[in-house]
Amino acid sequence: MKLIDPAELSADEEVMNYKGLAVYLKMSAGSLRHKVMKNEIPFLKIDGAVRFSKKHIDAWLEEHLRKSKKNKSINKNDMSAGCETEGNGG
């Protein structure tokens, strides 16, 4: 993930701190800190403090949901293809 440039934010955009995002995502602030340290989640720094843009977090969630669904679909196809070939062995 990239560090978001604060200039990309609109004046009315919702920005959250660790606690607010933890509540929004239903995960611990410690887990979020870990994701920030590993650059796994979009964040920005305002006067040295880590903040999160709701718009960017929502986009990040959508991307991860899409990837997750795609991976589940691929895994199901792999498993069903494997079962078909096993059953045809005769």
For 2-35, how does the pLDDT look when each residue is reduced to its tens digit (9 = 90+)? 777 777 777 788 999 999 999 999 999 999 999 9
Number of domains observed in the structure of the chain? 1
**Residue 75 sits in which domain range?**
3-87
Place of tokens 């929502």: 58
Place of tokens 């607010």: 20
pTM of this structure: 0.70
Query: How many whole angstroms separate alpha carbon 44 and alpha carbon 29?
Result: 16
Least confident of 10-14, 72-76, 81-85: 81-85
Residue 82 in 3-state DSSP? helix
Length of the chain: 90
